């Protein structure tokens, strides 16, 4: 197994290039030549991942702090855990409902498992933020 496959994913990229002399015949119609190449994109270091986790963990910490200010019911750590799971589920729902996403049922289920793990990470991060700002 390639180590890069753990952090990167393949992206098909189509390029339309006009052949010398213009269009080339393909059946009944004249169409430009198209080549498809596969590139690799990073799933670990990209603008989306760099922005998503700090924003989500900050939201969890802020919502938990707000719940604490509203009453004693917001003090227990389980409230933070529930908020973290809800934020992770919302992130999953937004990403999985993308109309351009072409994922199999299995990939969606694996994504759901990772959303659960992400929720636990958000909980742990929010707990750390809470300790840091005391």
How many angstroms separate the CA atoms of 46 and 119, rounded? 20
The pLDDT assigned to 47 comes to 63
CB 67 within 8 A of CB 74: yes
pLDDT digit string (tens) for 1-33?
Answer: 555 555 556 666 565 555 555 555 555 555 555
- The reply to whether 60 and 105 lie within a common domain is yes
Say yes or no: 52 and 95 in one domain.
yes
pLDDT score, position 125: 94
What is the per-residue pLDDT for 75?
A: 85
Report d(CA 128, CA 116) in Å as an integer.
19
Q: Are residues 36 and 54 in the same domain?
A: no
> Residue 26 corresponds to which tokens in the numbers above?
């393909």
Is residue 36 located within the same domain as residue 73? no
How many structural domains is the chain composed of? 2
SS3 category, 11: strand
Identify whether residues 69 and 108 lie together within a single domain. yes
Residues of the chain with pLDDT under 50: none
Distances (CA, A) of 119 to 11, 34, 43: 27, 42, 18
Do residue 104 and residue 78 come from a single domain? yes
**pTM reported for the whole predicted model:** 0.67
Are 71 and 19 in the same domain?
no
């Amino acid at each position: 197994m390639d180590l890069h496959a753990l952090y990167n994913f393949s992206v098909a990229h189509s390029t339309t290039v006009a052949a010398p002399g213009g269009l080339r015949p393909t059946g009944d119609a004249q169409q430009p030549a198209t080549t498809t190449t596969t590139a690799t994109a990073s799933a670990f270091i990209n603008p989306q991942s760099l922005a998503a986790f700090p924003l989500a963990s900050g939201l969890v910490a802020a919502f938990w702090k707000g719940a604490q200010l509203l009453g004693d019911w917001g003090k227990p750590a389980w409230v933070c855990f529930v908020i973290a799971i809800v934020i992770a589920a919302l992130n999953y729902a937004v990403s999985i409902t993308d109309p351009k996403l072409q994922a199999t049922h299995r990939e969606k289920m694996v994504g759901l498992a990772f959303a659960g793990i992400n929720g636990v990470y958000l909980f742990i991060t929010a707990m750390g933020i809470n300790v840091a700002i005391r």
